[in-house]
Amino acid sequence: MNNHRLVYSDDIGSRCPKCGKTLQKCICRASGEPVGDGRVRVARQTKGRKGKGVSLIAGLPLAEKELKALAKELKQRCGCGGTVREGIIELQTDQRDLLVEELKKRGYQAGKAGG
């Protein structure tokens, strides 16, 4: 019986839910498997962006190419810029309600995260 559970770690970054390694060292991404827990979260963040708000979409179970294609479509829908970094779509907008609605239309279980 494996009762070992990580309580605290000073490693930087998130861990892959499948292989348990940091996202930079994840072997799942190298094999082309999509990484994500199925719960799509749309959050707003201003930290490290000089007060400018961006919307972050995390938890999408898509490969890198598919993430970039989805990001392009969402950028066109919102009329904004953005990018894909470490499996997270970053959009330069605060239209979270529109993003959640659009993701739900595409069949994802999306919801707003944070405040």
Rounded to an integer, what distance in angstroms lies between the CA atom of residue 20 and that of residue 28?
A: 10
The residue among 87 and 14 whose pLDDT is bigger is 87
Q: Which of 5-9, 21-25, 53-57, 58-62 has the highest mean pLDDT?
A: 53-57
48-82 per-position pLDDT tens digit: 777 788 899 988 888 889 999 999 999 999 899 99
Asked if the model's pLDDT at residue 112 lies above 80, the reply is: yes
Q: pLDDT confidence of 13, banded at 50, 70, 90? A: low
Lowest-pLDDT range of 25-39, 77-91, 100-114: 25-39
**What's residue 93's pLDDT?**
87
Give the N- to C-terminal CA distance of the chain in Å, as an integer: 39
